[in-house]
Chain A
Amino acid sequence: DTVLTQSPALAVSPGERVTISCRASESVSTLMHWYQQKPGQQPKLLIYLASNLESGVPARFSGSGSGTDFTLTIDPVEADDTATYYCQQSWNDPLTFGSGTKLEIK
């Protein structure tokens, strides 16, 4: 299975720029997607196919990468962005998720 590795946690101040990384154990081309899960809520799609912003998602969110290294960027960060962020690949079977990065806003 393709393992997706994410940093466990990050803490930033409002207004700063934050990058959340996701590294795949094998190439996933650009079939990488990002979700936001706020406490007590279901996940929400933010970015699909590495860099495409889902409709309705603020332009503060952006994604990049290909192959094995991917990044989700939030610039500028707002207090409401407190959440866990998951990457998901759909290139290899079975599809897999990263373990999540918990973002704290100081």
Chain B
Amino acid sequence: EVQLVESGGGLVQPGRSLKLSCVASGFTFNNYWMTWIRQAPGKGLEWVASITNTGGSTYYPDSVKGRFTISRDNAKSTLYLQMNSLRSEDTATYYCTRVTIITTVVFDYWGQGVMVTVSS
């Protein structure tokens, strides 16, 4: 059974940093691209960052580029999201997702999510 378990969320002040982790199990982690997606309270879904299966390439939208860094440790089957210079608009539930193995970016498994609150 595929499982994605996020951790590392919490309350953080604006301008500070936070690092999220996602431990994967039930599949061969190093065969899959992975992605972080977030959802602000009561709002829709927003793509945050993606990483190839080897970790050799990463992708970000403009809203987080230069502040967030996605990385992975295939030996530990763990995905990370380093978030720096946090803003109130980064407040959201962050989901770790697996990208399905087809020719485009579709998310076939999602973790339960971890809440990040940016507030003074």
Q: In the complex, are the beta carbons of B110 and A48 less than 8 A apart?
A: no
- Is the C-beta of A70 less than 8 angstroms from some C-beta in chain B? no
Q: In the complex, are the beta carbons of B110 and A43 less than 8 A apart?
A: yes
A96–B46 Cα distance when bound, in Å, is 7
Given A42-B113, A43-B110: A99 and B104 interface contact (C-beta under 8 Å): no
Residue positions of B touching A, CB distance < 8 A: 44-47, 61-62, 95, 100, 102, 104-108, 110-113
What does DSSP make chain B's interface, helix, strand, loop or mixed? loop
A91–B112 Cα distance when bound, in Å, is 27
| Interfacial chain B residues near A86, Cβ < 8 Å | 44-45
Q: In the complex, are the beta carbons of B100 and A94 less than 8 A apart?
A: no
Count of CB-CB pairs between chains A and B under 8 Å: 49
State how many angstroms separate the Cβ of A51 from the closest Cβ of chain B: 13
- Is the C-beta of A77 less than 8 angstroms from some C-beta in chain B? no
| Interfacial chain B residues near A54, Cβ < 8 Å | 108
- Is the C-beta of A63 less than 8 angstroms from some C-beta in chain B? no
